[in-house]
Structure 1
Amino acid sequence: MYQFFVEEEQVHSDSISITGGDVNHIKNVLRMKNGEKIRVSSKSGQAYFCHISSVLDDEVIAAIDSADETGTELDNHIVLYQGLPKGDKMELIIQKAVELGVSEIVPVAMKNCVVKLDEKKAAKKLQRWQAIAESAAKQSKRTVIPTVKQPVTYKEALKIASELDSTLVPYENERGMDATREIMGQLKAGQTIGVVVGPEGGFAPEEIALVDEHATMHRISLGRRILRTETAGLAALAMLVYNLDV
């Protein structure tokens, strides 16, 4: 069943109006016909099971069959603070993080980041990254589209993350999974959770030292093997899903 997102004003009492680029996708790419089932979510997070009732030149009308009361979202707001990686690794990270249920993704400029984004490059990248997040949200049947934020500095990231209920910091020199299991086991539904991941070069000593200054931040291990930056955050998110999803 295909997933589409709409604005609140496109949802009516018994139908939903789908407009924009999704119309061409439905008509000419998917070649969907009247009667075919789809899932539609509004920006407020309410999802509906629908069937296509009319395909027009610039609009597709979907009749509402029922509301999706269960949904696909975690009860936790999870933010991934990702040290800027090289090449197109960020695209993979965003895609998979969205599939795993992340709520926000914040690119972070850190000491060992090779990539340096000026304002013009950042704006262009952000547009691309947000499109990837939307595509991944459709594929994974998310009820909301996670937001990719503007890149921030490491200190800015820690300041924002310190306001969350708990923040996990996978660190390659942290040893032993017992502490990780204990911290994961203390997390509860409804809490806001951050995950801070270093870039290819890892955390600088002074950066990891700043983590210990915040009571709500916890260094964790992801096992005895060293994970790449594009793997570490996804491994932590998978652990969170295991512990928090119902």
Structure 2
Amino acid sequence: MLLALALALAVPAAPVQAVAEECPAPKVVHPRYPLDLARANKTGLVLVGARFDDCGRILETRVDKSSGRKLFDQSALESVAKYVLSAEQRGKGADGWVQVPVKFGGFRNVEARKIPWPRSHRKPVYLPDEQAIPFDSIAGFQDAKVTNDDDVLQNPYGMSRDAAGQIMRTGMYLDRKDPDVFWLTYIIQPPFPASPTEPMGASVTAAVARYRLVEEAGVPVVRLGLLCERPADECERLREFLFDGLPFAKARRG
């Protein structure tokens, strides 16, 4: 046994084969929106210079163009430092550096309050509104500023994502003048870009619904009007969905 052990130890070890490094998958980390600036609805753009290695990992960052706000600049540097660039993104660089735009804005990161929907209309009847919405377009609705946008209410339906990566979200707002009128916006947001050097697409308000709370013959009624700028079949599906009632005020049956 000892002889076998000695012979085994005398055999030269096989050369160690170098193992090629496996690069991590490309990754984009979206920046933290500083809370104070989000509450103040401040926006900004930072151009971050990033030095990368052969796998696209970020080795060093710098501010090539400041947003003018230190909190935005710092948050942008922190997020880009966690990127892993794809081969295509690395190909756009020069001398191992690439410039990354980081945008702040478009999202309101503030605490929303509960929708002040009256108890009298927790189980209403939903009917089409005979009073037309007084706007020819969604742009006209937005220009009129009929909602109290500073009073941020909870999102009644949350967010969803379709197969193409588009994000659908809603927002609910109080009418500035009539406490018995609520407005719902239906917003389509494009997918986040695969490349950190690509600009973020703009969100589109695709539809606006008006909820007018009334009482008819002693019955709580919600008169619902819809202004929709999507294909006809999509608008009809949205209309049917809305007439099922809000999550906290489902339509009365029977």
Q: TM-score if structure 2 supplies the norm length? A: 0.20
**Higher helix fraction: Structure 1 or Structure 2?**
1
Higher relative contact order (CA 8 A, sep 6+): 1
* Rg larger for: 2
Q: TM-score if structure 1 supplies the norm length? A: 0.20
